[in-house]
């Protein structure tokens, strides 16, 4: 053996040793919850491995711990055929249905004392993982049960999922299925960051987990700290004859198996498990919505088989929507950036759905009236599948009701912040404060909207920083953001008794740089950023395209605004009044002077598709759906969300729904491919 070969052999051994060590440590931390080294020691080993792999790229493998987060954008998710159908469970809702299910299964297999396995039913996204020779080969969603989406790159970012298995007792090839979840703590932390950045929080962990796996950039998925519990192994050469033992064996290979899985002997054991977790589920670090019951002996699975949709050897018991009871303390009225006033009920803290809750929105005056909310009412609060609590019932004090002492809570008549009299438009359900320019929560809300990602995208100015700049007087209007210097920003500032804000050299540089970069934002997004009432992203694009510059829009009459497609009377009136306000006009002139763009870039807008409307459906190979929509607009066309007789073309990609195609044919709308569209714009 030559010296070079000897050296490479040593390097290969060192790399392999580091990988095995890191895989074991990862298992201890994310599966056993019992780390044997500090985070710093782990990071140092990972850094050493990364250095070696960069120096000797011939030794990099897809299952290396350094390859969890890839840098490649996945523009479309390939369809994968499941080796075994990925069925969904049938649901039961009471003890009688469980008794019926158990008796029917035992009768069909010819025994009366079958062993059952009870598991928690996670509220997440079902996933199937294929392993060959101990390495993760691919991951797929359920899809329609026969085919699913390939989400391997995104699944690799979940650190509790092993890329390479421990030991050597696993089969050469098998699938393991489970649920990707968004743990409560990680979900709340991620939502807090979204709010700080001026983005809408996710409604619940289940939808957020599902949406995360369809993100195109694995680096974004990695930021969400998802988790995964596995609960079902399937393959031709499995060692153990029972489901329970297979799960315990899988745990030794490195998989995260829930510790609360139990064997049950008969209905009483099953019901005891259900009753216990119906009460204890709030204390879990993740959401569950029921219990899964499976026959333990695998041989009976084959004997019972399955329907077209569900196995006959397993069922799911679904919990009722979670409810809690609390006492109303008061109702406060919050003012949003557009002036809308929202009533919020505050009540004594109560444990519900894994978190303490103490407030719930009452939406609007009509909602309050329907509840017949009175002072000191007892509230019934529910979460159901959502993370956001809602009040479903108000119970009055019986003694006060009998004595006529109930005091109904009325909606306020003046703004709780500035004292301005509230107004309500005929076709709107909510009251709002018209003091647009001088009501403090509206001002803060508009600034948070102005810097948000879909508007000016000044990412470095979220949450507390924006609040501090306003409260300290460092900014007074949007234009003053463009006058900030690094020297003005550097320092440590007190926000309130509990919060301090520190802006160091790098942070100040990032803020000033992001503000400067925002000057390149196109006109339609600048218009959206201004925060005109009733003008969203689509409305801003429509107005920018129609009027081409802010001066034309400023001079438009109500009639001219109403003549713009998709701009109704209420929106037209709102836009017209905005440009009658001298403070708003002054703001626009100052922003013009700061260098913001207030006219469309005519060089980038062609007339190839003028007068044509498009519906885009399915997935594509050369563009993302958003890229196709952008190309339509850049060539003078218009995107619409639904098919009608006015639609010019349906651009059809893979996985387009059959109903949409059927409707297009019925309406005689031309159906074109991605390549057809490219030909049109070329």
Residues involved in catalysis: 121
Helix (H, G, I), strand (E, B) or coil at 642: coil
Token pair listed for 150: 């390939």
Sequence-distant (≥ 6) Cβ neighbours of residue 647 within 8 angstroms: 613, 614, 615, 640, 664, 667, 669
DSSP per position, 306-327: B-SSSBSSEEEEEPPPPEEEEE
What separation in angstroms does the CA of 199 have from each of 393, 462, 477, 539, 610? 31, 10, 21, 19, 33
Helix (H, G, I), strand (E, B) or coil at 485: coil
Beta strands in 108-224 (DSSP E): 115-122, 125-132, 135-141, 147-149, 173-181
CB 82 within 8 A of CB 148: yes
DSSP per position, 574-628: HHHHHTT-HHHHHHHHHHHHHT---B--GGG---TTTT-EEEEESB-SSS-HHHH
Determine the angle formed by the axes of helices 39-55 and 3-30, rounding to 10 degrees: 150
Q: CA-CA distance, 359 to 350, in Å (whole number)?
A: 10
Beta bridge partners of 341: 335
CB 347 within 8 A of CB 402: no
Token pair listed for 198: 């001026």
Question: According to the 3-state scheme, what is the secondary structure of 366-381?
Answer: HHHHHHCCECCCEEEE
Q: What is the torsional sign of CA 671, 673, 679, 682?
A: positive
Q: Are strands 288-295 and 262-265 parallel, antiparallel or unpaired?
A: unpaired
Q: CA-CA distance, 212 to 15, in Å (whole number)?
A: 32
CA 294 distance to own-chain centroid? 31
The residue whose two tokens read 């050493």 is 48
**DSSP state letter for 304:** H
The residue whose two tokens read 């192994």 is 233
Selection from 68, 59, 70, 60 nearest residue 30 by Cα = 68
CB 287 within 8 A of CB 305: no
Selection from 462, 589, 446, 461 nearest residue 531 by Cα = 446
- Alpha helices by DSSP H, 110-227: 152-155, 184-196, 205-212, 218-222
CA 21 distance to own-chain centroid? 34
Torsion of CA 434, 435, 436, 439, to 10 degrees: -130
CB 478 within 8 A of CB 455: no
* H or E, element range at 32: none
Torsion of CA 458, 460, 463, 469, to 10 degrees: -90
Q: CA-CA distance, 241 to 344, in Å (whole number)?
A: 55
Sequence-distant (≥ 6) Cβ neighbours of residue 483 within 8 angstroms: 594
Question: According to the 3-state scheme, what is the secondary structure of 518-534?
Answer: HHHCCHHHHHHHCCCCC
């Amino acid at each position: 053996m030559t010296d070079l070969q000897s050296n490479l052999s040593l390097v290969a051994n060192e790399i392999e040793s580091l990988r095995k060590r890191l895989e074991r440590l990862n298992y201890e931390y994310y599966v056993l919850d019992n780390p044997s080294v500090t985070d710093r020691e782990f990071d140092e080993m990972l850094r050493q491995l990364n250095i070696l792999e960069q120096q000797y790229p011939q030794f990099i493998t897809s299952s290396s711990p350094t390859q969890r987060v890839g840098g490649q954008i996945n523009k479309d998710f390939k369809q994968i055929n499941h080796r075994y159908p990925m069925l969904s469970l049938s649901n039961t809702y009471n003890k009688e249905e469980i008794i019926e299910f158990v008796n029917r299964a035992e009768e069909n297999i010819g025994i009366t004392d079958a062993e059952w396995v009870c598991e928690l039913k996670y509220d997440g996204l079902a996933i199937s993982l294929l392993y060959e020779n101990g390495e993760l080969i691919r991951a797929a969603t359920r899809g329609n049960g026969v085919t699913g989406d390939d989400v391997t790159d995104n699944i690799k970012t979940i650190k509790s999922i092993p890329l390479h298995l421990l030991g050597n007792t696993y089969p050469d090839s098998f699938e393991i299925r489970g649920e990707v979840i968004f743990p409560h703590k990680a979900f709340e932390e991620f939502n807090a960051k979204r709010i700080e950045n001026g983005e809408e929080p996710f409604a619940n962990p289940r939808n957020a987990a599902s949406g995360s796996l369809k993100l195109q950039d694995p680096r974004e998925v990695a930021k969400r700290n998802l988790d995964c519990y596995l609960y079902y192994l399937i393959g031709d050469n499995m060692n153990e004859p029972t489901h329970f033992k297979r799960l315990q064996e899988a745990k030794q290979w490195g998989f995260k198996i829930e510790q609360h899985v139990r064997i049950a002997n008969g209905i009483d054991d099953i019901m005891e498990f259900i009753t216990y977790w119906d009460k204890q589920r709030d204390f879990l670090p993740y959401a569950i919505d029921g219990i899964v019951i499976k026959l333990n002996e695998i041989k009976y699975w084959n004997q019972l088989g399955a329907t077209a949709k569900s196995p006959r050897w397993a069922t799911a018991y679904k919990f009722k929507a979670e409810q809690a009871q609390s006492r109303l303390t008061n109702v406060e009225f919050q003012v949003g950036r557009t002036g809308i006033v929202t009533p919020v009920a505050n009540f004594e803290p109560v444990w519900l759905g894994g978190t303490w809750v103490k407030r719930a929105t009452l939406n609007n005056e009509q909602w309050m009236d329907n509840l017949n909310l009175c002072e000191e009412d007892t509230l019934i609060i529910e979460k159901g599948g959502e993370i956001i609590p809602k009040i479903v019932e108000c119970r009055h004090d019986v003694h006060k009701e009998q004595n006529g002492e109930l005091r109904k809570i009325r909606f306020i008549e003046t703004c709780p912040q500035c004292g301005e009299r509230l107004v309500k438009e005929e076709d709107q359900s909510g009251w709002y404060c018209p003091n647009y320019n001088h009501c403090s929560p509206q001002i803060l809300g508009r600034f948070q909207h102005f810097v948000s990602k879909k508007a000016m995208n000044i990412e470095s100015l979220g949450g507390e920083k924006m609040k501090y700049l306003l409260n300290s007087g460092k900014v007074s209007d949007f234009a003053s953001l463009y006058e900030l210097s690094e020297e003005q920003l550097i320092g440590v500032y007190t926000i309130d008794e509990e919060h301090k804000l520190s802006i160091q050299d790098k942070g100040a540089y990032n803020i000033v740089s992001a503000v400067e970069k925002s000057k390149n934002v196109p006109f339609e997004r600048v218009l959206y950023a201004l925060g005109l009432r009733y003008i969203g992203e689509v409305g801003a694009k429509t107005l920018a395209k129609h009027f081409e510059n802010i001066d034309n829009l400023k001079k438009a009459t109500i009639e001219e605004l109403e003549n713009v497609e998709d701009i109704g009377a209420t929106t037209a009136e709102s836009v017209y009044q905005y440009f009658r306000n001298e403070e708003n006009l002054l703001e626009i002139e100052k922003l013009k002077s700061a260098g913001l763009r207030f006219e469309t870039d005519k060089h980038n807008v062609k007339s190839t598709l003028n007068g044509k409307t498009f519906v885009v459906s399915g997935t594509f190979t050369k563009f993302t759906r958003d890229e196709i929509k952008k190309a339509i607009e850049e060539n003078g066309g218009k995107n619409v969300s639904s098919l009608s007789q006015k639609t010019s073309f349906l651009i059809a990609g893979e996985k387009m729904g059959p109903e949409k195609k059927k409707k297009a044919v019925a309406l005689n709308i031309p159906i074109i491919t991605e390549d057809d569209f490219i030909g049109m714009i070329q």
